[in-house]
């Protein structure tokens, strides 16, 4: 389906040339055959994460669209503009690690994966998706929640939402991050308790005096 | 033919025993009030804690009202805006979510301890019934509030919940069979869960239910102050402490400590992080229903049995449970506290097991 969609897209692009000559038609079809690869999604990674984390995840972990790259929806191949198609093809060419990738069908984390490991190695990792954990940069934390992206990948949590992560890990990260706030809250509560104690004591003394 | 005078006399006799007008003064209700000290004294604090969490709900809810937009197009965006762009918004929203769960937990513990302590005994029947109704309102608060973020789990769980209401009609006789359908249509407002549903749930959550709860809470508290704390144990306690100042101070001190704990938890653990992230995505009417749709934890005790057993079994059990709860002062009039304690323990074990292990039990029987 995605292949057809891409072909249609390329034919649309070549439309002005079609009337010009038969060669243009041939060129467009050749483009279609050689340059528009089918939209691969890699469910092996999703399956691994779900099995490992015991949490439901979907394509939105790495893709722009929660239903993956195939289709006509936002962030899916069928809806891409010519400029986005160009970016997609450029991303597909990022076979080695270290190249900046800006694929419109991938979200920030998806692009980060391709940048970190390269398309070639990423495809190889399909056979053992657990190794993606080691392949990703240990310090990368796109949402800034304090849990590295590689760890969030293993935990099946959202790498792009700072309010989503493993609850236990978030607790300790935030405890350390907000220690000043917590100390101030403890001081406030202790002061409140101290004040209340004396206020209520005062009221009871007044009451006993009234009784006398 | 009913003798109206006799009936009126009976009603006025019942009310005058339960609402002693001569005690309606500050001296009797506050200054003179004492709280017994015994092994179950901790139970006296559970009601206050529930009220404290309700107060937090009101305050944090008012802050959320400043930004929340009750429309299907903006509800999810406004919640995201509160969390990501409003100063302290994430903390306030988390406190609201955490304290709602704490409120329901404390309300359930309060009801169970009050039952075990036989606090429903004459003349406290009105206090008990008001308390049971308050618990139901609290659950309704949870159900209506769940829809407001308008994400996948919110809308899909509400659909299941409303559908369950309609199923009840199949088991009701005659014209009563239409009542659940009418109720569902009234609350849903349109063919499927949509803008009308969101608007109605919002109105229920922020206006109607708070007013109802405040009125019933007022009655409940008035009754508690009028009759004082129940004895709680078989042998009258030898010691007691003054309501003003000792008990009130202990209560306030506990509230402050609980507030600190709530603050730390809300600051450090986003409530949403317990759910898989696909369920937190904005609701997509054209998309398929995602996996893992379930209600909040406090409905697990009825949700998992509902998944395993025929609907009529759960309906019958629920109706019996509700009837027993409401009429407990008369049903358990002569029951000893020991027996009540055993019933409470059994109910507590059931609630804890279904809440904590409900999913595993469901998986075990289904596969």
Q: Which of A61, A167, A197 sits opposite B249 (nearest CB)?
A: A197
Tokens 């019958």, located at residue: B316
Alpha-carbon distance of B52 to B252, in angstroms, equals 9
Per-residue pLDDT of chain B (367 residues; tens, 9 = 90+): 568 888 898 888 888 888 888 888 888 888 888 999 999 999 999 999 999 999 999 999 999 999 999 999 999 999 999 999 999 999 999 999 999 999 999 999 999 999 999 999 999 999 999 999 999 999 999 999 999 999 999 999 999 999 999 999 999 999 899 999 999 999 999 999 999 999 999 999 999 999 999 999 999 999 999 999 998 888 888 888 888 878 888 899 999 999 999 999 999 999 999 999 999 999 988 877 888 889 999 999 999 999 999 999 999 999 999 999 999 999 999 999 999 999 999 999 999 999 999 999 999 998 7
Partners of A207 on chain B (C-beta within 8 Å) are: 31, 244-245
Residue A33, pLDDT score: 39
Q: What is the pTM of this model?
A: 0.87
Q: Is the pLDDT assigned to residue A204 strictly greater than 90? A: no
- How many domains does chain A contain in total? 3
- For residues A133 and A143, the answer to whether their CB atoms sit within 8 Å is no
Would an 8 Å CB–CB cutoff place A124 in contact with chain B? no
Cross-chain Cβ contact B256/A161 below 8 Å: no
Nearest to B260 among A170, A174, A186 (CB): A186
Cα-based distances in Å from A78 to A1, A114, A116, B101, B329: 9, 22, 27, 44, 67
* pLDDT value of position A200: 74
Which element (helix H / strand E) includes B240?
Answer: strand B239-242
Other Cβ atoms less than 10 A from the Cβ of A129: the count is 20
β-bridge pairing B239-242 and B34-37: antiparallel
Same-domain pairing of A20 and A95: no
Contact list in A for residue B257 (CB cut-off 8 A) is: 189, 193
Helix (H, G, I), strand (E, B) or coil at B256: helix
> Rounded to whole angstroms, how far apart are CA atoms A80 and A69?
10
Which residue in chain B is spatially nearest to A180 when comparing CA positions?
Answer: B264
Q: Is it true that the peptide bond before B123 is cis, omega within 30 degrees of 0? A: yes
Q: How far is CA A93 from CA A35, A36, A63, B107, B293, in A?
A: 11, 12, 18, 60, 39
The Cα of B75 is separated from the nearest Cα of chain A by a number of Å equal to 18
Q: Residue A173 falls within a domain, yes or no?
A: no
- Residue A71 shares a structural domain with residue A119: yes
Per-residue pLDDT, averaged over A5-31, amounts to: 40
A52 and A135 assigned to the same domain = yes
With beta carbons under 8 A apart, name residues in chain A contacting B249: 196-197, 200
Determine the Cα–Cα distance for residues B209 and B134; give it in Å rounded to an integer: 10
For chain B, how many structural domains are there in total?
A: 1
Cβ burial, residue B103 (10 Å; 0-12/13-18/19+):
buried
Q: Is residue B185 part of a domain?
A: yes
Domain that holds residue B118: 34-283
Q: Mind listing the pLDDT tens digit for each residue in A22-62?
A: 444 444 444 433 334 445 568 899 999 999 999 989 899 99
- Are A10 and A104 found together in one domain? no
In a domain, A170, yes or no: no
Q: How far apart are CA B135 and CA A53, in angstroms?
A: 35
Residue B236's Cβ-side half-sphere holds a number of Cα atoms within 13 Å equal to 2
- State whether A24 and A52 are in the same domain: no
CATH code of the domain in which B256 resides:
1.20.810.10
Chain A residues with CB under 8 Å of B248 CB are: 200
Residue A105 shares a structural domain with residue A140? yes
Query: B interface mutation test: which of A49, A50, A152, A189 has the most B CBs within 10 A?
Result: A189
- Tell me whether residue A171 is in a domain: no
Helix ranges (DSSP H) in A19-107: 22-35, 43-53, 82-92
Q: So what's the pLDDT on residue B1?
A: 57
Same domain assignment for residues A33 and A125: no
Q: How far is B10 from chain A (nearest CA, A)?
A: 40
Instruction: Tell me whether residue A75 is in a domain.
Output: yes
Q: Is residue A172, in this structure, part of any structural domain at all?
A: no
B97: in domain: yes
- Final residue belonging to a domain, choices A142, A165, A188: A165
A58 contact B CB<8A: yes
Residue A187, by phi and psi: left (phi above 0), alpha (psi -120 to 50) or beta? alpha
Are residues A202 and A150 part of one domain? no
Segment A97-108 shows an average pLDDT of: 92
Q: What ipTM did this prediction achieve? A: 0.86
Residues A92 and A158 in one domain: yes
Residues A13 and A116 in one domain: no
Min Cα distance A26 → chain B (Å) is 39
User: Distance (Å) from the C-alpha of residue B105 to the closest C-alpha of chain A?
Assistant: 20
Mark out chain B residues that contact chain A at CB-CB < 8 A: 31, 83, 90, 242, 244-245, 248-249, 252-253, 256-257, 259-260, 263-264, 267-270, 272-274, 276-281, 284, 287, 290-292
Q: Do B83 and A171 touch (CB under 8 A)?
A: no
By C-alpha distance, the chain B residue nearest A193 is B253
Instruction: With beta carbons less than 8 A apart as the criterion, state whether B62 and B95 touch.
Output: no
Render pLDDT for A59-83 as a digit per residue (tens, 0 to 9): 999 999 988 898 898 899 999 999 9
Q: What is the pLDDT of residue A211?
A: 67
Q: Which two tokens stand for residue B264?
A: 């730390």
Provide the residue range defining the domain that includes A182.
Answer: 178-211
A83 with A9, same domain? no
Q: Are residues A48 and A33 in the same domain?
A: no
């Amino acid at each position: 389906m995605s292949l057809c969609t891409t072909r249609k897209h390329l034919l649309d692009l070549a439309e002005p040339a079609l009337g010009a000559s038969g060669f243009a038609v041939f060129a467009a079809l050749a483009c279609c055959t050689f340059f528009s690869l089918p939209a691969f999604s890699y469910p092996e990674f999703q399956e691994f994460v779900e099995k490992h984390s015991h949490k439901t995840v979907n394509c939105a972990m790495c893709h722009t669209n929660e239903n993956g790259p195939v289709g006509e929806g936002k962030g899916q191949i069928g809806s891409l503009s010519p400029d986005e198609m160009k970016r997609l093809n450029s991303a597909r060419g990022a076979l080695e690690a270290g190249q900046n990738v800006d694929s419109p069908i991938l979200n920030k984390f998806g692009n980060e994966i391709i940048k970190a490991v390269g398309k070639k190695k990423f495809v190889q990792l399909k056979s053992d998706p657990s190794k993606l954990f080691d392949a990703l940069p240990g310090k990368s934390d796109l949402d800034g929640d304090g849990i590295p992206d590689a760890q969030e990948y293993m935990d099946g949590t959202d790498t792009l939402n700072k309010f989503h992560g493993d609850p236990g890990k978030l607790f300790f990260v935030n405890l350390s991050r907000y220690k000043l706030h917590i100390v101030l809250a403890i001081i406030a509560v202790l002061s409140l308790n101290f004040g209340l104690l004396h206020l209520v004591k005062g009221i009871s003394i007044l009451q006993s005096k009234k009784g006398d | 033919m009913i003798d109206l005078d006799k009936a009126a006399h009976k009603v006025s006799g019942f009310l005058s025993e339960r609402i002693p007008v001569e005690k309606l003064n500050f001296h009797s209700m506050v200054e003179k009030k004492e709280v017994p000290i015994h092994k179950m004294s901790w139970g006296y604090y559970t009601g206050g804690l529930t009220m404290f969490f309700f107060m937090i709900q009101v305050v944090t809810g008012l802050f959320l009202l400043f930004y929340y937009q009750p429309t299907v197009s903006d509800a999810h965006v406004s919640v995201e805006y509160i969390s990501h762009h409003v100063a302290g918004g994430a903390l306030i929203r988390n406190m609201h979510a955490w304290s709602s769960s704490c409120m329901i937990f404390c309300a359930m513990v309060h009801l169970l301890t009050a039952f075990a302590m036989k606090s429903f005994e004459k003349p406290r029947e009105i206090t008990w019934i008001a308390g049971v109704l308050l618990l139901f309102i609290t659950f309704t608060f949870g159900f209506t509030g769940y829809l407001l973020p308008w994400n996948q789990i919110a809308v899909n769980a509400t659909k299941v919940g409303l559908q369950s209401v309609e199923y009840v009609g199949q088991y009701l006789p005659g014209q009563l069979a239409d009542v659940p359908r009418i109720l569902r249509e009234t609350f849903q407002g349109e063919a499927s869960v949509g803008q009308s549903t969101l608007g109605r749930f919002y109105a229920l959550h922020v206006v109607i239910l708070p007013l109802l709860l405040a009125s019933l809470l007022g009655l409940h508290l008035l009754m508690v102050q009028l009759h004082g704390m129940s004895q709680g144990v078989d042998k009258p306690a030898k010691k007691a402490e003054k309501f003003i100042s000792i008990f009130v101070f202990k209560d306030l001190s506990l509230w402050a400590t609980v507030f600190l704990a709530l603050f730390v938890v809300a600051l450090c653990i986003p409530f949403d992080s317990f759910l898989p992230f696909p369920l937190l995505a904005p609701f997509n009417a054209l998309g398929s229903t995602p996996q893992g749709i379930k209600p909040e934890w406090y409905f697990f005790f009825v949700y998992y049995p509902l998944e395993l057993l025929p609907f009529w079994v759960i309906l019958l059990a629920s109706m019996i449970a509700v009837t027993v709860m409401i009429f407990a002062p008369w049903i358990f009039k002569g029951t000893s506290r020991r027996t009540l304690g055993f019933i409470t323990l059994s109910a507590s074990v059931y609630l804890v097991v279904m809440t904590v292990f409900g999913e595993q039990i469901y998986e075990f029987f289904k596969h």
